[in-house]
Each structure stands twice: as structure tokens, then as C-alpha cells.
Amino acid sequence: MINTFKYRIYPNRSAQKAVDQTLFLCRILYNAALDERNDSYKLENKSLNYYDQANSLSFLKENNPCFKEVHSQVLQDVLKRLDKAYQAFFRRIKTGETPGFPRFQSAKRYNSFTYPQGGYSIVGNKLSLSKIGAVRIFLHRPIEGKIKTCTIVRKNDKYYACFSCEVEPKEMPLTGKAVGIDVGIKEFCVTSGGEMFESPKTYRKTERKLKQLQRSVSRKKKGSKNRKKAVKQLSKQHEKVANQRKDIAFKTAKYLFWNYDLIAHEDLQIKNMVKNHHLAKSISDAGWGIFFNILESKANTNAGKQLIAVDPKNTSQMCSKCDEIVPKKLSVRIHKCPHCGLEIDRDWNAAINILHRAIA
């Protein structure tokens, strides 16, 4: 199993310059190699592959000595990335899709390079990078497993090292328990056992600020320094919110699978629900898409763990005790059954129904 461990790094001025220069050269190489493939196909009707292009790297370095300043495997990896983009393109054509052609990379998009095998080492709080130097690294958690690759990323003027590691999958204990979950508006999710996970309301809280920033960007002259500054602030704000969302999704998923073997949820066509104006904000807020992806991957990688999607029809209207349909608007937060007298939180009631459906 491959896990990625991401750490902030703090290159000093000269190392930062070297990282920026490496990013620049990698992007130049990527675009040139893309150009070469296109030309070769158009002019000679010949498809170049990774090896064709990798073989001409030494020729490139002879003629453009600046490329000698980049670790050779990093350059090879650039060509591998392009090759992957092509392979993905042709794979999608084969399956009948209409993918976009591999495209030229702008400085904004091309923000990382990879040491695929060697050329880096960690000693204490220093990460030593071939052709760049030693940079301070903040190891906020230990790296686990065997490091396979090291990728340096620049994002919003911050720098990160991402290690892709081969780790032994940690088996989660089997508990013999099943749970239904209802992803909600008020809470992030409620379980059939009545556990409630708070929804991250960060997006709404910072919405005014985001809107302000968006307005401020559109008010500023294109190409101006002030606009660039505002765009940067905006993207930082988005990043913050996305990280918070991901964090709660990971924590909740982990908790659930440590405590239950089977998790049932509604088969939500999130896209359809997003069309509903009132629900839209809460849904994108809670990041359910990410949440279900995480749950799914945990179910797939842990033996004995299962994720089941059930028919969502009437899960919140039906009484979980006597099956009576009790119609209620979205604003009614309590399920109160006139038939059997059950009175519980609306989402809790739904979660119990979801569990019942999965077991039935």
C-alpha cells in the first residue's frame, strides 16, 4: 500500500532559488517534449515514447548546460509525467470518452518535481536534495514505511516535500458491529447509535471574507500588482477551507471504521442535491464527496470492512420504530411519530432507517 507523507520545508534563499529554477527548467522541458511529440506525429506520422525522449536528454544537456543543474532522474521523471498524460489520453479515447489533449503547462500549474529513486536523504531536521542543497524540514509526524519517491511542491509561496511510501496496511480490528449514517445539514453526520459529528462550518464563516476577496480581485486591474496580491489571498483562503474539510472527513471515517465493520449510507446523487439551492452550501461545506471516497477506500483496503449504499427514499420521513410515514419539512428537526410515540432527532431517525435497509 502506498501512503503519502507531506511536510513543510523551509529552503533558505539560495535553495529556494534553486527549487524555483528547477521548477522552471522542468516546465520548459515538459513543454518542449510535448511540442516534440506533436511535431513528430504531425510531420513524420511517428509517435515518440518515453524512451525515445529520455535518450535525447544527454544531447539536450550538451546544448543547454543549464539543464545540468537539475538532477538527471528529476528530468527523466518530467518525461515520465508527459508519457503518463499521453497514456491516460489514449486510454480514455479507447473507452469512448473525449478527453482533452495533453496540454502545455503554465508556470502556475507546473508546481512540483520528483526524485523518483535517489538524490535525497533526511538527516535530523534537514532534507538534503541533490543539486539544491540541504533544506530544513518540519517532520510534524514520523514517516512510516519505505520511502519510494520524494516530490518537492511549491504552493502559495510555501514549499513542501511529499514522500510516497510503501507501508504495511494496518488492519483495523473487527468489531462485529454495523452502523447507519446520515450525512446532514446541521451535523456533518449522525449515526444510528446517536453519535453526532459536527459539521465544519468554516466555509460559511469565512464566506464573507471570501466574497470580499473575490470582489476585490474583480475590481482590480488585470495584470496589476494589487490584483496578484488579492488573487493570492483568495487562493490561500480556499486552501485553508479545503484542508479543514478533508481533516474532518478523514477523522470521522477513521473513527467509524475502527468502531464498526459495516457502514450504511444513503446513495446520494450529490450532484442532484447540489441543484437544490438551500442544500447546496451545506453539501459543498461538508465535503461529502471526499468523505465517501475516503470511506470507500478504507472499506476496500481493510478485510472485513464494508460500505453499503441504500435507497434514500423516505429515510427521514419514515418512523424507524413502526415504519409509519411522518411527513416533515426540512426545517423540522425532530421526528415525532403520532402512531407509536417515538420522538428523536430527525437525522438520528434517518440513520436508523438507513441501517435497517442495509441489513434487510
> Alpha-carbon torsion 41, 46, 51, 55, what sign?
negative
The least distance separating Zn ion from the CB of residue 182, rounded to whole angstroms, comes to 17
Closest approach, Cβ 355 to Zn ion, in A, equals 16
User: CA-to-CA distance for 19 and 130, rounded, in angstroms?
Assistant: 11
Q: How many residues bind Zn ion (CB under 5 A)?
A: 8
d(Cα 23, Cα 26) in Å, to the nearest integer? 5
- β partners of residue 161: 7, 152
Quick one: 93 or 322, whose CB is closer to Zn ion?
A: 322
CB of 166 to Zn ion, least distance (A): 52
Distance in Å, CB of 353 to Zn ion, minimum: 11
Catalytic residues: 182, 266, 347
Q: Which is nearer to Zn ion, 107 or 322 (CB)?
A: 322
| Comparison of 52 and 324: residue with beta carbon closer to Zn ion | 324
Closer CB to Zn ion, 210 or 342, in the complex:
342
The tally of CA atoms less than 13 A away on the side-chain side of residue 195 is 11
b/e code 180-218 from CB counts within 10 Å (16+ = b): bbbbbbebbbbbbeebbbebbebbeebeeebeebeebbe
Q: Minimum distance between the CB of residue 277 and Zn ion, rounded to whole angstroms?
A: 31
Q: Which residues in 301-320 contact Zn ion (CB under 5 A)? A: 319
Measured from the CB atom, the residue of 172 and 319 that comes closer to Zn ion is 319
Residue among 117, 132, 125 nearest 25 (CA): 132
What track of x and - describes contact with Zn ion for positions 319 through 358 (by CB under 5 A)? x-xx-x------------x-xx-x----------------
State the maximum Cα–Cα separation within the chain, in Å, rounded to a whole number.
85
Please, are residues 163 and 120 in contact by the beta-carbon 8 Å criterion? Answer: no
CA-to-CA dists, residue 100 to 89, 125, 258, 323, angstroms: 7, 42, 41, 50
Residues 70-109 that bind Zn ion (CB under 5 A): none
256 binds Zn ion (CB under 5 A): no
- The alpha carbon of 71 is separated from its chain's Cα centroid by a whole number of angstroms, namely 28
Residues that bind Zn ion (CB under 5 A): 319, 321-322, 324, 337, 339-340, 342
